A and B are shown apart, each in its own frame.
Chain A
Amino acid sequence: AQSVTQPDIHITVSEGASLELRCNYSYGATPYLFWYVQSPGQGLQLLLKYFSGDTLVQGIKGFEAEFKRSQSSFNLRKPSVHWSDAAEYFCAVGTNNNDMRFGAGTRLTVKP
Chain B
Amino acid sequence: EAQVTQNPRYLITVTGKKLTVTCSQNMNHEYMSWYRQDPGLGLRQIYYSMNVEVTDKGDVPEGYKVSRKEKRNFPLILESPSPNQTSLYFCASSLWGGPNNEQFFGPGTRLTVL
The answer to whether B41 and A104 have CB atoms under 8 Å apart is yes
B103 nearest in chain A by CB position? A100
A51 nearest in chain B by CB position? B100
A34 CA to B42 CA, complexed, in Å:
14
B31 nearest in chain A by CB position? A98
Out of A34, A96, A98, A104, name the residue touching B102 (CB < 8 Å): A34
Number of interface residues of B (CB under 8 A): 28
Residues of A near B48 (CB, < 8 A) are: 98-99
Residues of B near A112 (CB, < 8 A) are: none
A95 to chain B, nearest CB (A): 5
The answer to whether A44 and B90 have CB atoms under 8 Å apart is yes
The answer to whether A43 and B105 have CB atoms under 8 Å apart is yes
Residues of A near B108 (CB, < 8 A) are: 41-43
Known A44-B90, A90-B43, A103-B42; judge A98-B97 contact (CB<8 A).
Answer: yes
A94 CA to B33 CA, complexed, in Å:
13
The answer to whether A32 and B90 have CB atoms under 8 Å apart is no
A98 CA to B95 CA, complexed, in Å:
12
Interface membership of A17, Cβ < 8 A: no
Most A CB contacts (10 A, CB to CB) among B42, B92, B99 go to B99
Residues of B near A96 (CB, < 8 A) are: 98-99
Residues of B near A43 (CB, < 8 A) are: 4, 90, 105-108
Out of B50, B56, B101, B107, name the residue touching A94 (CB < 8 Å): B101
A86 CA to B32 CA, complexed, in Å:
28
Known A43-B105, A43-B108, A44-B105; judge A100-B45 contact (CB<8 A).
Answer: yes
The answer to whether A94 and B100 have CB atoms under 8 Å apart is yes
User: Hey, what's the 0/1 contact readout for B33-50 against A, CB within 8 Å counting as 1?
Assistant: 101000011111100101
Residues of B near A34 (CB, < 8 A) are: 102
A42 CA to B102 CA, complexed, in Å:
17
Rank and list the top 4 A-B pairs by shortest CB-CB distance, nearest first. A94-B99, A43-B105, A98-B97, A102-B42
